[in-house]
Structure formats: C-alpha cells, structure tokens
Amino acid sequence: MEKILINDIQHNLKGELTVPGDKSISHRAIMLGSISHGITEIDNFLMGEDCIATINAFRKMGVEIKEQGSKVIVGGVGLHGLKEPSGIIDAKNSGTTTRLISGILAGQPFESTITGDDSLKKRPMKRVIDPLSKMGAKFLSIDEDYHIPFTISGGNLKGFSYETSVPSAQVKSAILLAGLYADCPTTVIEPSPSRDHSELMLEYFGALIKRHSPTEVSIKPNPRLMGQHIIVSGDISSAAYFMVAGLITEGSDILIKDVNINPTRSGIIRVIEAMDGNISLSDIRKVSNEDVADIHVAYSPNMHGTTISGDIIPTLIDEIPIIAVLSAFANGKTIVKDAAELKVKESNRIDTIVNGLTNMGANIKATNDGFVINGGDLLFGAKIETKKDHRIAMAFAVANLICKGSVILDDEECVNISFPGFFKTLESLI
C-alpha cells in the first residue's frame, strides 16, 4: 500500500524510546529453544513476519510454541526430537530462516522442503548448500544455483573444516548448527569476522564452542542443550533509523534504550563517530550473553563524509541504506565499497539506494560493490520504489524528515518484516 509521508521540514525529534527485539537473536532463540531440553522463555521477541516464519517452521516439526504478547515460550524437544514437517516449510521473505534452518534440517533423518515468497526465491542459497552437501546432506532444487524451493534429505553428517570465501554469519551459522549433528567437530574459517550471535547463543544453551581466533570457530557434536531464559535486546538495525533521524534533524535529542551493541553488529556507531556525529553510550551491560547499552544522539550539523570499507562492512551491512541517507546529509564525500553483498539482499540495495536518492536530488553514483555520495545538498520529495524491502522503506522515511516536499513510499507494509509499528514510533517523536 502506498504511503505519503507527513513532511514539515521543521521537525524537532525529542524523546526516549525502545525498539523491537533484535531479529537475528529472535530467530536463533526459537531455533535453539526448539532443539533444547525443557522450556525456553523469550522476552521482547520480535513479532515481525520473518521471525513468525521461524516459529511456524518449528511448529510444523512438532515443537509447541506459545505466544503471549512479546513473550514466546518454546517447549524444547531436544537435539534429536524434531519430527518430519507436517507440510512444506514457508520461510516467507526470511533469508535467515531459510539458511539457518537448512543447517538444522541437514542433520535430521527425514526429508523436508522449504519455499518462500517471490523475493526470497531470487536470493542465492548455493553458498549454504555447498558446505552442507559436503557434510553429507542431499539437496534437490529447481536449479543448479539452489534457489528455493528445495528439498533436504538429512542425517549421517560428517564433521569437517570449511573456509568461506566471504564473511557471512548466515553461512557460518548454518554450518555450526549442522555441526551439532555431525560425527566429529566442525570448524568454520572466514576471511574476516562476521556476526557471532549464533556462537554466543549456542554457548548460552550449553553447546561446546571453541574460538581459535576472531575468524575461526569450532563446535563439538551432540551436546545436551538446555532451555534458557532469553531477553532479546533492542535491534541495532532498527535503532539505526532513529540514530540517523536524531543526527540529521535540527533540534533533535533522542535516547534509545536497551540496544544490542555486539561488536560484530555495531559498525554504524563507529561510522557515526568517524563522521563526527553527536553520539554516546551509557549503562553498558551484558544481557543474555550479549552486550547492551542505551544510545543517545543529538542534531549534528557539522558531520562530514568518510570511507566505509573492509572488515567493518559485515558489522553494518543491514544499516547501509540508512547510512546512505546520513551520507547525503553530511558534508563532503562518502565512499561505500566492499559491499557487493548488498546486491543479494531483499532487493539489490545498491540499485534501490542509488535510484531513490538520485530521485531526491542527491549526488550519488553506483559502483560495482557500493556507491559514492557527495553530500550536503538539499533533498526533494519523490516517489520511492522500495522493491518491498523493509530497510529501504524505513531509510527513505527518515530521509523525508529533511527534504523539501514529501516522500511517497510505494509500499509501507513491508516494514512489518522487521519493525511493526515503525511509523507510529517515528511520529511519536515529532
């Protein structure tokens, strides 16, 4: 459904807020709770469409899961207690569901089929299927690139050491989850560190994880995982929109409470600091094995461009759309490179970012692995083609705060994938 955004160019955003629970952690809590013994209680679970797809997938495999508002209670069936799915698993739009559950299904002594929506059917799965196939799982797909739908015949997995060509938390996680069912330890080696939510939560549930270095991790098979109480901290990817809104909107002052600041996810904080944004952290603490803090931001008219590349990219890949909006506001040149992964997200985010900001009058050029923005120019309202990509929709909703005229989103409902209530939260600060 099309949405015309309210624009009053004099917005002053002030207040305190929380954002929905972290999407990555919510997915993993359901998965590990399901294959653990006993009850797992999950507080502040993200009731977005992606995470609900994960709940429904495990219900199809005989796991009892109760929803009580933002609390979810999972009746774990143990590592070997999953049943053959009662039907085809529909991952909807969720790449995380598809890739991570493939690791678990690879270890099961039954056959299962995964499908999804039209967008997910275009996303690459071969880089997950290849290592799982080497471990002994069998995959039948509609094409040689292993797009969904595909069928998995699992069981009798062999532990091994696998070196990935690019850092990917989803690939690493799928292999480690399959490693729970292998005949000997399994090791993943990456060219640079990726998100480590899986390792932290596996440890929390009792798995035997060994970190050889920031880029090499091993898991031992057949642990006795035990249900846990998980408090899902606020998703920094969701907080990022309000961080940038506060930085670019005159007179703004915002406190975002209880945000996950895991170092493998918090690259946007380092970028804002490098651009001289007014940002600070307080009440830093551990919650369910994750680093959490309150984040304060205020209007920062003297921000400048920077170069974003290399090892920091995996720590902020989902935040690049909103970083692009920030860069269009900042003075001078911002270069984003080494981010070809953007092409295989919910949309080709290089194209959707560049096309949208170009339509708003920004000086931005696409490159093979990112883009270059010369910021500081006035933006104008425009109709934005979101490609049903939730992060694109939210990023341009923030751009609307500082443009002349109004942004029109061709689809507003896609934000429900990760942030139900996003527009109400934003309007509450105005």
| 37 CB-near residues (< 8 Å, 6+ apart) | 76, 78, 224, 225, 226, 227
Could you say which DSSP state residue 181 is in? T
Which residue carries 């919650």 as its tokens? 287
CA-CA distance, 210 to 346, in Å (whole number)? Answer: 32
CA-CA distance, 395 to 384, in Å (whole number)? Answer: 11
Are 263 and 314 in contact, with CB atoms under 8 Å apart? no
CA of residue 301 relative to chain centroid, distance: 29
Q: Does the active-site annotation cover 318?
A: yes
CA-CA distance, 279 to 286, in Å (whole number)? Answer: 20
The residue among 172, 239, 219 whose CA lies nearest residue 429 is: 239
The residue among 198, 272, 266 whose CA lies nearest residue 32 is: 198
Q: Tally the residues of the chain.
A: 430
Phi, psi of 156 (to 5 degrees): 55, 50
Could you say which DSSP state residue 45 is in? -
- Which stretches of 47-160 are assigned E, i.e. beta strand? 64-68, 71-77, 89-90, 111-115, 138-141, 150-153
Are 407 and 2 in contact, with CB atoms under 8 Å apart? no
| 211 CB-near residues (< 8 Å, 6+ apart) | 199, 217
Q: Is 334 helix (H, G, I), strand (E, B) or coil?
A: strand
Could you say which DSSP state residue 234 is in? B
Identify the active-site residue in 318, 351, 389, 410: 318
Q: Tell me the two tokens of residue 86.
A: 């009662």
Runs of H (alpha helix) within 262-389: 267-274, 320-329, 349-359
Q: Which residues are catalytic?
A: 318
